[in-house]
Chain A
Amino acid sequence: APLTDTVPPQVVPGADPLARQLCFAWGPAEVLVCETLFGRAGGFRSRCLSRSPCASRFRGKGRAGAAARSLTGSVAATADGGPSSSRVFVVRRDQDIYIQTLRKLFNESHGIFMGLQRSEEELAGKSRKAQLVQVSKNYRSVIRACMEDMHQAAVSTRDPALQGQYSTQVSILSAMELIWNLCEILFVEAATAGPLLLRLLDWVRLHVCDVDSMVREVLSSESPSKHKLFWNVVDVFVLQGRMDEARHLLSKEASANPTSVNMYKILDDLMKKMPVPSLGNTQTLTELELKWQHWHEECQRYLQDGTFASNPHMESICKILLGDEDAILEKKELMTTWYHFLVTRLLYSHPTVKPMELRFYAQSSMDLFLGGESSPEPLDMILMAAFEFEMHQVIKECSIVLSNWWFVAHLTDLLDHCKLLQSHNLYFGSNMREFLLLEYASGLFSHHSLWQLGVDYFDHCPEYGRVYLELHIERIPLSTEQKALKVLRICEQRQMHEQVRSICKIMAMKALRNNRLGSALSWSIRAKDAAFATLISDRFLKDYCERGCFSDLDLIDNLGPSMLLSDRLTFLGKYREFHRLYGEKRFPEAARLLLTLMTAHIAPSSFWMTLLTDALPLLEQKEVIFSAEQTYELMRCLEDLTAGNPDKQKFQDDDVETTKVEMLRLALARNLARVIIKEGTVEGS
């Protein structure tokens, strides 16, 4: 919490609270700021906005360093209608997700993350550890691949601003890999005394590469021993514990300079015999320490005897071998960093250093190396926290310094799988791993296509993942049906029924507005939304009443079982069937169907008039179709309709309607007459 007070305020560029009164609205991943037409009637303090809204929002969650996010103000819309145009600013807190070259990082790490979540928990002990170390290595190789791409991009671009941006990204990625590598050695692999030193040596050799070009230059020259930087390169090899390479170079010097052959032989011998920890279990620590003590004394003797007195270079090498701090510090320029100094020191004075002892050496190394001239940088503080085994401190510092949650989210998740993080409960309930994953995934959701990765991250946040997903998923813009289908599938797989209904309704409404009735029906079937199906059927029926014929027969004729989704839809299907039967001249069946539609109350009462009117031609046929029973039924329906009509007055005034009713009554009566006779007639006479 104290950190936020020291963070400088940030301003949304272009938004001037002194000029216009501003209002803002929170979104799940963005803040909308807009200019209003209201006058600046006192009280609106510009201070409110200049202290970035993001920081004040996130302070409530106890998270430090939110204001280190880069803010962009972009003009999202321009509205006219006012003395001057208003603008809406979209303040996004995560710019990194829009960097093209980082997309590979996000995608690949998502794959590794998912693999880790699904990996076998039953594996215990060594095999589990090996598995976790492999995961860590995979993450690191993805970072390196990204660094490569970024480097290529920096080299090939012509735009200096872009080049600067890419170069910065390369150094950030490089720092991330450095930190991750150290965490892998200390936390994931938890290297013990002995192998610990070897791992640290590898780490230094991999990451301190400022001297690589010098090394290459000397090695590729015709006679390296004559090169002015020759001894620098030998020193580099010795400082990094690369004994074989150092000895190889020294042999060239010896052959060129016969007078120092004796000195060279002794030094070469010392370097060859130096005891180093081994990775396998071939010797115990005590054995190593004993051997090392012995060797150390031998070196001491040679130095004191003045064997190397005539050659200052070799003498300084011998002093380095003895772990003389001053001698090593003289080569500061070749080591470039305090952690290189640390590892060299350990190599030549405490090769069997235990993990828990590292902190003391680290602190003193940093102090000695920086020597009060310069103060430690954030990267140094992070590495120091790692050497002190303060995992939480490492994560906290990284969160502050880095502009994106990617690094801390994935590292914390990995450490959590190593069972190294106690449940460090933040005061709104979820643990640190979950908190970081939630933040990272939320950032992904503000991207138009990376949100799909975010879904999987939310899935693996047991406490709040689902809630976050529910809130975010409804805000994804559904520009095409395919995108909507993907979102729907995600919701259905997680039984998020509310969201399914809501999305299907949106798509169905859109389809309806565009007159795509088949699409609209397809969406309501997917959501099993009976109400919407009724709406669509009403639309069809309305079209029919207006035009006298059905549109989209291919749909209505082929409804199939989906007809049962809503009563209105069933009616529509059956009504169309009636028309078909009529068209095929299957009158008795058509008549039966028509009657059923009314008596079984499948038809809405508003449609009865139309149905009765449809019955007219059947009544007027030469052949009697309706039986007496049926005719009575029809008559009853007609009476129900005319009697129960609330707008009776209007009904009677409307001439067309009255005529219709009268015609119906006449036709019904005539039919009744005919059918009574027909049914009364004895067969055969």
Chain B
Amino acid sequence: QDNRISIWSAGDFGNAGLNGEYHGEPHFLCDIQHNGDVMDMQFLDQERIVVASSTGTVTIFRHHQNNQTLSDDHRWEKAHYHVDQDTSCGGAACTGVVCNNPEIVTVGEDGRINLFRADQKDAVRTIDNADSSTLHAVTFLRTTEILTVNSIGQLKIWDLRQQRNEPSQIFSLAGDRVPLHCVDRHPNQQHIVATGGQDGMLSIWDIRQGTMPVSLLNAHEAEMWEVHFHPSDPDHLFTCSEDGSLWHWDTSTNVSDKPSFLHQGGRSTAYLSHSTINQSVVSAWLSSDPTKDRMEITNLIPNQTLSVNSLDVLGPCLVYGTDAEAIYVNRQLFA
């Protein structure tokens, strides 16, 4: 098997044409060989990328922008393993990685949580047997707390300051323990968390209260692989699934309750409306009746065939990859 990590340039943003359209296809820059399947990856900083492998290894690659090459910067072999780290075939897939420079947290099929520091050779902390089932994804809740989801439908909060190897809180779905595959936290309101399950259901949780999700939204027809809040515009949520669809969840149309102080004091309307929309969005995501507050849901893929495995969103740009070995870049998300 020949797996590679590649860097592409998605087009020069300065080259907008007359009607604002971006020209040019994504343009290949460089690549490097990777051992095992790439299960997850994230940028650590402008130059370094952390990659989780199906062999259980976590690697940092460095992208040299001056000569457009990739190099192997640092590697933690057998970060995830079953039973015995020294046996040759004991590697367990590392399923999720999240970074908060210089800290890196990884989780895997061995139910282990690792905390690495980018410049240190060994793991700073390892929680063995953190979970009796597979941990599918991890994300930061606060700088010292992480959220994990596993294959028995549980969302767990771990406090990394504490030395005990127990989660500080466990949330679970009400009915069948459907495995959860992905998790993301609202960029501004840290108590709002979204998870996606094996049955394609999107769950929104308020972790301040209760142990069960606030709303369950029937979404996809198969596993939801990734869920992402838009980092700068969190009224928008994106999910992709094994059924080949990518959904854009838009709660920003809810402008029904604009308070009256909007027109006072000569402040720019734009600023205030942004903050009021954020406020109304709280109720939108956590509302128990999503049909009341209008939420627009659009499938962004016209002819779906094979699974959409991964997506990412930044600014007006959305990128996703499918099992048909194709990468799609949409540079006009909100047009």
Contact = CB atoms under 8 A, between A and B. Distances in A.
A110 B110 contact: no
A516 B198 CA distance: 19
A525 B325 CA distance: 32
Interface in A425-445: none
Interface in A41-84: none
A592 interface: no
Interface stretch (A269-277, A550-558, A652-660, A672-680): A550-558
Interface residues of B, number: 44
Nearest to B154: A558
B83 A110 contact: no
A555 to B, nearest CB: 5
Interface stretch (A213-221, A351-359, A559-567): A559-567
B149 to A, nearest CB: 12
Interface in B258-313: 303, 305-307
Nearest to A103: B325
A518 B133 contact: yes
A521 B242 CA distance: 23
Contacts of A448: 1
Interface in A101-121: 103-104, 107, 110-111, 114-115
Contact of A485 (B111, B150, B198): B198
A517 interface: yes
Given A479-B37, A479-B54, A107 B177 contact: no
A489 interface: yes
Given A518-B111, A554-B170, A558-B172, A482 B152 contact: no
A516 B132 contact: yes
B303 A518 contact: no
Given A103-B325, A110-B305, A481-B93, A518 B150 contact: yes
B134 A516 contact: yes
A519 to B, nearest CB: 5
A514 interface: yes
Interface in A464-494: 479-483, 485-486, 489, 493
Interface in A543-595: 551-552, 554-555, 558-562
Contacts of A86: none
Given A489-B242, A559-B177, A560-B172, A522 B152 contact: yes
Contacts of B95: 481-482
Contacts of A107: 324-326
Nearest to B304: A114
Nearest to A104: B325
A511 to B, nearest CB: 8
B24 interface: no
Given A481-B93, A516-B110, A452 B306 contact: yes
A456 B133 contact: no
B152 A521 contact: yes
Interface in B86-125: 92-93, 95, 109-111
Contacts of A157: none
Interface string B238-274: 0000100000000000000000000000000000000
Nearest to B303: A115
A217 to B, nearest CB: 32
A515 interface: yes
Interface residues on A, range: 35 or more
A104 B327 CA distance: 12
Nearest to B92: A514
Contacts of B133: 516-519, 521-522, 555
Given A111-B303, A518-B150, A558 B177 contact: yes
A558 B152 contact: yes
A516 B154 contact: no
Contacts of A517: 132-133
B12 interface: no
B179 interface: yes
Given A452-B323, A479-B54, A522-B152, A562 B132 contact: no
Nearest to A559: B177
Interface string B114-147: 0000000000000000011110000000000000
Contacts of A515: 82-83
A115 B305 CA distance: 9
Contacts of A100: 2
Given A456-B305, A480-B54, A552-B132, A522 B179 contact: yes
B10 interface: no
A654 to B, nearest CB: 34
A514 B154 contact: no
B222 interface: yes
B84 to A, nearest CB: 10
A450 to B, nearest CB: 9
B39 interface: yes
B131 A485 contact: no
- Counting chain A CB atoms within 10 Å of each CB, the highest count among B83, B133, B179 belongs to B133
Interface in B26-48: 37, 39
B151 interface: yes
A114 B174 CA distance: 39
A561 B175 contact: yes
Given A489-B222, A516-B110, A555 B305 contact: no
29 contacts: A103-B325, A111-B324, A115-B303, A453-B306, A480-B39, A481-B95, A481-B134, A486-B323, A514-B92, A515-B83, A516-B132, A516-B134, A517-B132, A518-B133, A518-B151, A522-B152, A525-B177, A554-B156, A555-B132, A555-B152, A558-B154, A558-B172, A559-B177, A560-B153, A560-B176, A560-B177, A561-B175, A561-B176, A562-B177
Interface of B: 1-2, 37, 39, 54, 82-83, 92-93, 95, 109-111, 131-134, 150-154, 156, 167, 170, 172-177, 179, 198, 222-223, 242, 303, 305-307, 323-326
Q: Which 3 A-B pairs have the closest CB atoms?
A: A518-B133, A518-B132, A552-B132
